[in-house]
Amino acid sequence: MDIERKLIKRASLGKLVEQLRAEGKVVLAPKKKKNVVFFEPINTIDEMSTDYIATTQSPKAAAFPKSDRILKFENGKEGIKFEGQPTSVYPETVVLGLRPCDATGFDSLTAIFNWDYKDQLYNDRLAKTTFIGISCASCDAYCFCTSVKGGPGNTHGTDILLTAVDGGDFLAEIVSEKGKKLAVSGQQYFEADSGADKEKFLANVPVKFDVDTLVPKAQNSFESPVWLEQSLRCIGCGACAYVCPTCACFDMQDETTGSKGQRVRCWDSCGFGLFTLHTSGHNPREVQSARWRQRVLHKFSYMPERLNVVGCIGCGRCSRACPVDMNLSEHLVNLAEA
Q: Pairing between strand 26-33 and 191-192?
A: unpaired
Q: Are the CB atoms for 121 and 68 separated by under 8 Å?
A: yes
Q: Are the CB atoms for 28 and 198 separated by under 8 Å?
A: no
Question: Using CB under 6 A as the criterion, which residues of the chain lie in contact with ligand SF4 when the complex forms?
Answer: 234-240, 243-246, 271, 299, 312-318, 321-324, 326, 328
Q: How far apart are CA 331 and CA 301, in angstroms?
A: 15
Smallest separation (angstroms) from ligand SF4 to the CB of 240: 3
Smallest separation (angstroms) from ligand SF4 to the CB of 231: 7
CB nearer to ligand SF4: pick between 59 and 314: 314
* DSSP label of 280: T
CB nearer to ligand SF4: pick between 153 and 245: 245
Smallest separation (angstroms) from ligand SF4 to the CB of 233: 7
Q: Are the CB atoms for 172 and 7 separated by under 8 Å?
A: yes
Q: Which residues of 51-73 are buried (b: 16+ CB within 10 A; e: fewer)?
A: eebbbbbbbbbbbbbeebeeeeb
CB nearer to ligand SF4: pick between 235 and 274: 235
Sheet strands (E) in 244-315: 250-257, 260-267
Smallest separation (angstroms) from ligand SF4 to the CB of 244: 3
Q: Are the CB atoms for 117 and 66 separated by under 8 Å?
A: no
Smallest separation (angstroms) from ligand SF4 to the CB of 323: 6
CB nearer to ligand SF4: pick between 26 and 237: 237
| Residue 75: φ, ψ to 5° | -95, 100
CB nearer to ligand SF4: pick between 20 and 318: 318
CB nearer to ligand SF4: pick between 186 and 238: 238
Smallest separation (angstroms) from ligand SF4 to the CB of 82: 35
Smallest separation (angstroms) from ligand SF4 to the CB of 146: 12
116: enclosing H helix or E strand: none
Q: Which residues of 325-336 are buried (b: 16+ CB within 10 A; e: fewer)?
A: ebbbbbbbbebb
CB nearer to ligand SF4: pick between 328 and 335: 328
